[in-house]
């Protein structure tokens, strides 16, 4: 069974004292997105993720960004990860692995994704000081890794993201998200040669 008749679209809502999030995802979309998190640069990154992973994504997030964008950014990553896990279902017929090398002018990022069911993130290579930079004046560079942690831990993905070069923080962050998107696009894609769940264990 190829699994290509599966419906891989879900909606996840999450409410805490710090944020309220309503997120819909379709893993077999065209990359269409409609994203409002109250954090403009994060909207930009999530739009890039949707476009380059061919995932349809709608996000409405309202949070305590008057304190700091941290809670809203992290919580949206948690919900995105939960939605990816739910939408992947049993993972029948998928490629499972994906990798990509994506430039943005002088920046170059590599991502490798394994839809393994085992959360693991290896994230290296951002230049010194990146984590302290306020991209767009509001998005702390340290949140790039924190979002990847939130997504991978909640989606059950093994992800390696490596920054191989770059100077401009906007370019570096965007290249990382685009590389992750392209790698995820490959990994979630149905492979007509795969029968059942692509694991010798029989489950992912």
In the complex, the residues that contact Mn ion under the rule CB under 5 A are 74
Closer of 98 and 141 to Mn ion (Cβ)? 141
| Spatial separation of the C-alpha atoms in residues 141 and 166, rounded to whole Å | 14
Between the CA of residue 59 and those of 40, 113, 135, what are the distances in Å?
13, 23, 21
132 DSSP assignment: G
Closest contact distance (angstroms) between CB of 135 and Mn ion is: 17
Tokens (6 digits) for 158: 């093994």
> Which residue sits closest to Mn ion, CB atoms considered?
74
Closer of 74 and 174 to Mn ion (Cβ)? 74
Closest contact distance (angstroms) between CB of 2 and Mn ion is: 39
- The answer to whether 188 and 50 are in contact (CB under 8 A) is no
Closer of 69 and 94 to Mn ion (Cβ)? 69
Closest contact distance (angstroms) between CB of 63 and Mn ion is: 12
Tokens (6 digits) for 89: 């279902």
Closer of 6 and 82 to Mn ion (Cβ)? 82
Closest contact distance (angstroms) between CB of 78 and Mn ion is: 10
Closer of 43 and 74 to Mn ion (Cβ)? 74
| Spatial separation of the C-alpha atoms in residues 179 and 136, rounded to whole Å | 21
| Spatial separation of the C-alpha atoms in residues 176 and 144, rounded to whole Å | 8
Closest contact distance (angstroms) between CB of 133 and Mn ion is: 18
Closest contact distance (angstroms) between CB of 146 and Mn ion is: 6
Closer of 26 and 74 to Mn ion (Cβ)? 74
| Spatial separation of the C-alpha atoms in residues 10 and 55, rounded to whole Å | 12
CA proximity to 41, closest of 164, 168, 155: 168
- The answer to whether 47 and 54 are in contact (CB under 8 A) is no
């Amino acid at each position: 069974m190829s699994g290509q008749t599966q419906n891989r679209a879900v909606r996840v809502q999450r409410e805490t004292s710090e944020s309220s999030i309503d997120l819909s995802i379709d893993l077999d979309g065209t990359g269409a997105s409609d994203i409002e998190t109250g954090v403009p640069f994060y909207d930009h990154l999530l739009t890039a993720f949707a476009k380059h992973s061919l995932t349809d994504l709608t996000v409405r997030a309202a949070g305590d960004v008057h304190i700091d964008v941290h809670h809203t950014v992290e919580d949206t990553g948690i919900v995105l990860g939960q939605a990816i896990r739910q939408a992947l279902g049993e993972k029948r017929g998928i490629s499972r692995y994906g990798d990509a090398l994506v430039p943005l002018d002088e920046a170059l990022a590599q991502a490798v994704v394994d839809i393994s069911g085992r959360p693991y993130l290896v994230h290296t290579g951002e230049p010194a000081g990146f984590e302290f930079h306020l991209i767009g004046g509001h998005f702390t560079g340290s949140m790039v890794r924190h979002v990847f942690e939130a997504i991978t831990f909640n989606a059950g993905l093994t992800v390696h993201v490596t920054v191989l070069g770059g100077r401009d923080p906007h370019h570096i962050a965007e290249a990382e998200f685009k590389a992750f998107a392209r790698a995820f696009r490959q990994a979630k894609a149905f492979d007509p040669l795969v029968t059942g769940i692509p694991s010798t264990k029989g489950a992912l």
